[in-house]
Every structure is written in structure tokens, then in C-alpha cells.
Structure 1
Amino acid sequence: MNVQNTVELSKSTKAVSDWWRGGVIYQIYPRSFQDSNGDGIGDLKGITQRLDYIASLGVDAIWISPFFKSPMKDFGYDVSDYRDVDPMFGSLEDFREMLDRAHDKGLKVMIDLVLSHTSDQHPWFGESRASRDNPKSDWYVWADPKPDGTPPNNWLSIFGGSAWQWDPRRLQYYLHNFLTSQPDLNFHSPDVQDALLDVARFWLDMGVDGFRLDTINFYFHDKQLRDNPALPIEARNASIAPAVNPYNHQDHLYSKSQPENITFLERLRALTDEFEGRACLGEVGDAQRGLEIMGEYTSGDKRMHMCYAFEFLEKRALTATYAKQVFDQLQAKAGDAWPCWAFSNHDVQRHASRWGLDDAAIRQHTVLMMCLRGSACLYQGEELGLHEADVPFEMLQDPYGIEFWPEFKGRDGCRTPMVWAAQDEQSGFSTGEPWLPVSAAQSEKAVDRLEADRQSMLHHYRRAIALRRAHPALASGVQSEMRQVGSVLMFQRENASESVFCAFNLGAEAKRVDLPEGNWRVLGQDLGGVDGEGSVTLRPAQFCLMVRDEG
């Protein structure tokens, strides 16, 4: 299937209400995508300029990281006005233009709603901290100190230190699961829930196609403020926070993932369902119960449409053993959950570097993602085969990296500017000095160079996405139980009209595997897969896709 056909197929599915089921979503980090005015920071007009490129990938939707008004202490994830665009990104009119243009090209637009917390510059917080008896006094999580003046419990911030910050105005502590400048909203207040649902309605009325919901399991806290228990060393998992962060020492039973969250998610889903074809994608941040929570939050048709956990965003390599383990756990804990898989995003080291992949392995992993049951998120630049950029300490912007340097270098390495034209100033990202340095190593894989090579990584991504679109069994069919033969991962995807057999050698040695019974023909030869009769030998990083020939 060529690129034009892929784009036309995208347009033809625009009105389908369940477009998200098996859809491919392209994440844009707006600060680093395309700068249109030369100030070194990407913006909404820059996204509009690049919509033809995005549509050419064949994806269903774009997810845009926050562009709301913000003091930018956490680069937009600290919102000071939910209903307006920060001037560095443009204006509401720029957003409307981008939204209309994207829809004209058959692209859905999802925006990143950060509901668990605001900036300390938000007017809500300014009023809440003014006194203990004002109308918004309970809109944030306030608590008295212990008798000795220390915080009310042992909860920790993901960004380091206590999750409580003393406020001299109220003579109380306020909760912040992230930076001290990101106070947590109190979802136990019905007024807070109503205000946030009004925010969602504002953007739905404008025409957005859905939301990526940041830290969706952090909305509620335990009203009794009970201490989190300690985790034994063998149970600690660094998928949510880096290993050097003591956040991993606790089992966060009470600071997040509370049962009351379900009711709010059902309210949010009911609102979303008032609008045709909208969808909610939740981010589940939990190192111990991520898959279980994903199942709870996507169960039935009254909660979230889909969620993603961190199983494939952590340091652990995607081996056949681990992939089977994840899917076995998902089936056991949440068989009807609808996952959304991602290998890279704006918060983790790019997977090409994190897993030490060469180009052949990157290509294989791309096809694997397009074959897994669930939806898929691609992160800008992933389609170029980009590795993590090296950002020296003196140029770091990320407070997370600055706090834990050098053992953890933060998130700037995956947030450096997109590379569009290898020979242009700042690789085509900006005519000014960029907010993060453009990576010279990444520039070697700029879009213009890869466009000219039909065998490049960019064209491979297009073919892989087109394959998924051409075979509904891969997008939304059922998935058999995964099987593992040594380093080879095997499974089948089926719907009423076809059955697709998938095998991936994720190891370092060649392995011969038997094909299922039946007549099979090779699928996706232009992706580099191999054929076989009865059995097939897969070299490292090879894969085999076959469709059952019912004739």
C-alpha cells in the first residue's frame, strides 16, 4: 500500500466512532516539533505546517503535549489556565486553525489534559492558599503538620523529597506528587470535579477528538492520609521513577490509585460520550499494579476507552519471555482491558538507546508493535530511528535531570528538536537558537534524507502502519495466547475474515520454529519478513508474518 492510499484510508475512517480501537497515535511534543517564528521554541503554527508529513505516515491521530498557559516549571505540565494557549505556542485561533487543518487531512486531534494538579500560579491555588475558609479552601490537598512540625505522612514526590510543601499563609502543608510548584487538586471535592469536567467540555465543544489524560491514577488520595508501606528491595521497580529515586522504596497504596477514582472516570466518560467519536487515553503510573489498574480503568464501556502502563517504557528489554509475561498478566488480571502500547515518549529515554537496538531491531520492534492487540503510540522522531540525544549538564532544562544528575540525566535527551532538513540551520527546526540543542547525530537521520531513500526507516514505518490498516485483524482482532520458543515470540491475530500468524526472533541467535497447521502465505514482504513451508528459520531481528489462505 503506498503513502497516498494510506492517507485516503485515514480520511475514509474519519467518521468511525471507534477509530481509537487499534488506532495509531502520533505524539507531538510541541516545544520541539517545529518553530514557526524563530524564537527557538516549537509552536502550534509549526504543527500546522507539518500536518502533511504527519498524514503521510498513515496514523489515525495526533496527541499534543500541553500547550496551555503555564509558568513552564515542568514545561506545560504545570497549568495556570486550562482554557487558553500559552503565548509561546500561539493563540486559541492558532489552535482552531490547526484543528481544522488536521481534520481536513483525516487526522484526529487529542490534547493532553493534566487534571491531577495545577501550577501554583493558577488562580484556583492563589485563592485556596489565601485562607482556610474561602470558597476554594478545599480545592487542593491541605493538611496540618504532625505535632513536631513535620509533614503529615511519609508520601514522596516523584521529583524527589517529600510530597508535602509547607505554606506559611495557611500554616499547613499542601500535597504535590511532582514539583513543589505543582500542587495536587482535591478530587474529593465535588466542586473540583465539576470544574475539571467543564474544562473538558470546553475543548470537546471546540472539536478535539479526545484526551490523553496525564497521571490518571493520581487524581484521588487517601482521605485518612495513611503512610505508604515500604517495599522490599526485591520488589522495587524503576519503571516510574529512576532507580536512584527513593520514590521506588514505597508501595504507593494511599497516595494514588484510590477506588473513588472509578466514579470520576465514569463521569468523564459520560461527558465524552455526549460527543460522537471522541476517546480518552489514560496514563497509568504504577510500578506494581499498572496492568491491573489499566484493566479497572478500561473495563466495560463506561470508563476510559484505553490506557497505557509502563511495561514497555521501562529499561528492561523487550524479550520474548518478558512480552509473554506481560500479556499473560494482562489476560489474567484484565482480560477485557484495551491497552495502548508505546515504546518511547517524552518522559523516557528513546527505546532505540534504552534497549540498545540497531536498525534491524528497530524495524522489527516497529512491526511487532503494529501486530500487538491494542492501540499504538509513536513518539515524534521515532519513525526516523532516532537514538537518545546527548545533552550536557550545562544545557539541561529538565528539573528532574538536574536533581538526579549524573546517575539520571533527565528527559531532555528525548525532547531535543525534531530534525527536518540535514543541511538547514538547526536542521530545519528553527531559524533561532533552540531551547534545547539540535543533535548533530540525529541530524544525520533528518526527514529530508530519509524521504529520498525508499528503504529508509521512515518508509519502513509507513509500510508497517499501512500493513496494520490493511489488515483489520491486526488493528482490532482478537489475539491468541502468546507462545515462546526460545527467543521467538509467536501469536495469532484473528477476526471474522482473516487470521494472521506473527513470529519475532527477539534474541541473538537464529531459531527455527514450526508454523501452525494450514495453508499460509507470506504477508508484508516489503517489510523484510521471511517465508517458509511448514517451518521457518528466523535470524536475530527477523520476523515472519503470514495470513491463512482459506482457499
Structure 2
Amino acid sequence: MTTTPWWRGAVVYQVYPRSLMDANNDGIGDIPGIISKLDYIASLGVDAIWVSPFFKSPMKDFGYDISDYRDIDPIFGTLADFDELIAKAHARGIKIIIDQVLSHTSDQHAWFSESRESRDNPKADWYVWADPLPDGTPPNNWLAIFGGSAWEWEPRRCQYYLHNFLKSQPDLNYHCPQVREQILQEVEFWLQRGVDGLRLDAIIFCFHDKLLRSNPAKPEAERRGRGFREDNPYAFQRHVYDCDRPENLEFLESLRTLMDRYPGTVTLGEIASEDSLKTMAEYTAGNSRLHMAYSFELLVDTLSGTYIRETVETLEKNLLEGWPCWAIGNHDVVRFMSRWGGKDQSPQLAKTLNALLFSLRGSVCSYQGEELGLIEAQIQQHELQDPYGITFWPRFKGRDGCRTPMPWNHTETYAGFSQVKTWLPVPSAHKEQAVSLQDNDPSSILNAYRQFMHWRKDQPALRLGDIAFVADADNYLVFKRHYGNDTLLCAFNFSAQENTVTLDTTYQLQAVVGHGCATTSGLYERLTIPAHGTVIARVM
């Protein structure tokens, strides 16, 4: 008999360390703060924690610009703190997944400091350098996601260097064998410390086209690539030469070989390519690349049952060997209750959207605060921290609104996150959704989350089963999950009115008590789903 890997069907709770809990009262969250909240996280019933970057960094992009892959930034704590986090999480049965930002470093990394000095030093080829065109302009038309050209002039070498994000985030040159070897060593440093997995940020950006060919233009009607705003010039191109190159697959195989030396560890790739679903299938194929991947396909602005069905079915058709992971929110997008919740921000809808996420086939990433139904914080221009928002204000206000501190206690000035002014403000609306208010309320979003999660652990059909869709419309979705001899019918109503849905056949159902199910046992050709409600019933 084979043992199912722990990460298949797991729920991974994403922690943004700046904003979970401030243990030393400097206004910024830290690793000791995470440790102090492990009992709370364990109470949610999740399987693992994904910790966003905590490495040494100048924080131009809040940790996604690493200056030392093997050290903790002092604002977050020490290596000893991290070792304590692993030990105490493992003692509670919780795995630890860390972000690895492998495609680029900070311009303050020692490697880049050496590389930029000359064209003949030992690390001269560790980053992507290119001569200007005869008129002095950049070598091609590649653009940076955060605005402007992806090329920055370096007077020491009289060359341009590539940066797909901020100019302070130069891209590593993965065509250089020494870079690939060194990066695997950086990864292994954390595997040796006992981490259980890696979330691979921007993993499609490791390789670039060696010939530096310019990207083709994208027609205006198609400028809506997942994760990229249509008012950002980055969306004006088809990104076929600056990322997602074929050579990347060989590197992923070498990374997988390393991971296989540490049994039980997992890789989770972030995918935001021209065809993310196709790339997810490629990057997880053959049981020799990534273990699983997730994309921005469900991080869209509009909630639609039909869209969710089309997205999942497309991936199921292509993902023959790999394993999917789904998210409806994270640290890069507007919180799902503000995107999908409408004007009334119904607590019942928050419960249903969490239940929907936990019922899809695959693993799940659940972002801190989603268990409370938090809405997007409104950040004023003078309060902005995110360089993305600062560049594109006022059309785009950046990502700060989903990164504000967790509200622990509604009676405290800074919601129990800190005793001093916080790095981002705590909205008054978040205090009204604080853990202290929801913790002992049996009908709260938080306790619905906990109840569903603990029930889900004993439902192999939800954790591991197949998925087959039954009915859909913009305002509802119905599907079956099947594993072994067990089949569950899962129905979700996104509208503020009761919905009666015609099923694809007659079902004999047995209600699953305690999960919003309005049915009783019996035969059903039509199913009534309460307003903003969830129905889960066992098919007999």
C-alpha cells in the first residue's frame, strides 16, 4: 500500500509575517509573534503554514528582495527564533513552508555588488547583463511588472542589467551553471534546518531568452493576463521571451532531485504566465518537477460559478499527473470579501466562499484574515508602503490594503497586534471583525471556518477525491466529490436570494448536519440552496 503525501488535499495557512503579530512592539510583526499565535493557528485545523519572506533584505519589496538567503532580517528575529518556530509548529502537527525567491536578489546582495563592478570578475555572469543598442537604448522592449523598462543602466560596466520587478531586484542569470548550483545550495540550507516545503515565488522568471528577442505586442482586447492589470504597460506584451522559457523545466527537475533527498518535503510553484493553466500542467508533469502549483486564475475581480467551473475543468483536463492548489486570496490581491462580497459584505457569504475553497479538488492556500472574513483596508496615499501602488496611484492603490495587521482584540488601540503605531494602519472595520469578538460566537465566520476544517479532515472525498460538475451559473455552483465508496454533493449559492437548482439526475441524498444543509434525506431532482448558503450532502 502507498501512503498519501501529507500535502495532497492539505490546507496551507499563509502568514504575512509583518502583519500577523508584533512580539517586540516595534510596530512590525515578527517570528516570535508567529510562535505566540501557533495555538490559534492550530485551532483553525490547517495542515501547514506558509511564511512569506523573512530573509535579510533592504525591504524595498518587503522581503521579496533578498540580500542574504541564509539569514533572518533583524526586524523578524533570528535563526534561533526560526528554529523554535519549526520545533513548536511540528509539536502541534503543523508543517512549515517558506517562500523562496529564486529568480532575483536584492541589488544589495553580495553577489550583485561583485557582479556589477566589472565584466571579468568571478561573478560577472551571475546576473543578466547586456550591451546597449547602437543608440544607447536598452537591448530590447522587455518591461518590468512594477512599471517602466526591465533594463537599468550600470555605469561601472557600461551595460544594462535585467530586472523583471523593481530596479533594486536584479535578475539572476540561470544560463550560468554556477548560479544554478549555488541556488540549490541556498535551498538546501533551509531543508537541513527542517522546513517541510518551499513556496516558489515568481518561479517562471528564472530563465530568459539567450538571444534577448523582443516580446510581441498583445492586442488591446487581450490585455488581461492573470495577475497583471490592463492599465499597466506590462500587459501590452505577450511575455514569451522574458519568462517561462523551456530551460526552466530542466532546472525544476534538478530542484526536485534535491527535494527527493528530503522525504516528505514539497514544492509549491506560483504561476502567472500567458497560459497559467497550461504552465501548471507542464511544471508538475511526470512526478519529476514541482509537486504542485497554483495560479492567479481564481484571484479575479468577479465571482462567477460558471467561470470557476470552466477554470477547474480546464485544469483537470490538462493536469494529468500533477496536483493543483487553489487560492482565492493572498498578499498580492484585494481581499476576496471586497472583490466578491458585494455591498452588504454578508458574513454568511464569507462562510460559503471559504467552504467552496475547501471543497475544490486539490490543496488550498488560505490567507491570514480570511477566517475572519476581513475586507480590504482603505489606505490613504500618504500611508502607502507598497512600491507598486506608489507607482500606479491613483488608478491602482497597491497591495497594502490586504496586508494590514491582524485584528486580535477589538478593545485595544492597535487591535492587539502591537502596543505602538503599526507599519500599516488597523482599520476600524477590522476591529469589528476581531478574533476577540468572533472566538466565542458560535455563529461567527471564524467558528464556521474551524468547524468546516475539522470536519473536512475526516472527509477523504474532499481531501483526495475526484471532482465532477453538476450545475452552474454566475450565482451558484454545484459539483460532486467522489473517493472510494463515498460521494458528496456540494452546492454553493453566491446570491442574496434562495436558489433552486435543477440537478443533472435524481439523487438520493443524506444531509450533512451542521454545514448549512437545508435538505433532508430523500430523493432530489431539484436542490434548494439558502441565500449565500452552502449545501453539502452525502449521495446514497
Instruction: Map 1:266-415; keep pairs closer than 5 Å.
Output: 266-286=253-273, 288-315=274-301, 317-357=302-342, 358-415=346-403
SS of the residue 1:480 aligns to: strand
Quote the Cα distance in structure 2 between the aligned partners of 1:422 and 1:506: 29
Structure 2 partner of 1:260: 247
Moved more, 432-441 or 475-484: 475-484
- Residues 154-176 of structure 1: per-residue CA shift (max 9 Å, x gap): 01000000000000011000000
Alignment counterpart, residue 33 of structure 1, candidates 17, 20, 26: 20
- Residues 313-348 of structure 1: per-residue CA shift (max 9 Å, x gap): 122x23121011102221333344321111111111
Q: Which amino acid aligns with 1:350?
A: R
Contact 2:253 2:289 in 1 (8 A): yes
Contact 1:319 1:507 in 2 (8 A): no
Contact 1:485 1:513 in 2 (8 A): no
Quote the Cα distance in structure 2 between the aligned partners of 1:359 and 1:210: 33
Q: 1:485 to 1:318 in 2, by over 3 A?
A: closer
TM-score (norm 2): 0.96
Task: Count residues with an aligned counterpart.
Answer: 532
- Residues 254-293 of structure 1: per-residue CA shift (max 9 Å, x gap): 110001111111111111111121101100012x300100
Moved more, 268-277 or 173-182: 268-277
Alignment RMSD, CA only? 1.6
Alignment counterpart, residue 457 of structure 2, candidates 462, 469, 479: 469
Q: Which runs of 4+ in 1 moved over 4 A?
A: none
Contact 2:410 2:431 in 1 (8 A): yes
Quote the Cα distance in structure 1 between the aligned partners of 2:341 and 2:479: 25
Structure 2 partner of 1:500: 488
Contact 2:215 2:242 in 1 (8 A): yes
1:522 aligns with 2:507: no
Structure 1 partner of 2:91: 104
Quote the Cα distance in structure 2 between the aligned partners of 1:507 and 1:290: 29
Contact 2:287 2:322 in 1 (8 A): no
Quote the Cα distance in structure 2 between the aligned partners of 1:399 and 1:17: 42
Quote the Cα distance in structure 1 between the aligned partners of 2:351 and 2:443: 11
More strand by percentage: 2
SS of the residue 2:414 aligns to: helix
Structure 2, unaligned runs of 5 or more: none
Structure 1 partner of 2:166: 179
SS of the residue 1:470 aligns to: coil
Contact 2:145 2:164 in 1 (8 A): yes
Quote the Cα distance in structure 1 between the aligned partners of 2:464 and 2:303: 22
TM-score (norm 1): 0.94
Q: 1:210 to 1:17 in 2, by over 3 A?
A: farther
Quote the Cα distance in structure 2 between the aligned partners of 1:451 and 1:84: 36
Structure 1 partner of 2:438: 450
1:59 aligns with 2:50: no
Quote the Cα distance in structure 1 between the aligned partners of 2:262 and 2:111: 28
The offset of 1:511, in angstroms, is 3.2
Contact 1:486 1:511 in 2 (8 A): no
Structure 1 partner of 2:150: 163
Q: Which amino acid aligns with 2:336?
A: H
SS of the residue 2:514 aligns to: helix
Contact 2:516 2:536 in 1 (8 A): no
**Identity within the alignment, %:** 52
Alignment counterpart, residue 429 of structure 1, candidates 414, 417, 424: 417
Quote the Cα distance in structure 2 between the aligned partners of 1:332 and 1:172: 45
- Residues 106-158 of structure 1: per-residue CA shift (max 9 Å, x gap): 00000000001000000000111111111111110000111000000001000
Quote the Cα distance in structure 2 between the aligned partners of 1:545 and 1:267: 42
- Residues 351-375 of structure 1: per-residue CA shift (max 9 Å, x gap): 1001234222211111111110011
Contact 2:348 2:445 in 1 (8 A): no
Quote the Cα distance in structure 2 between the aligned partners of 1:471 and 1:181: 47
Alignment counterpart, residue 181 of structure 2, candidates 163, 184, 194: 194
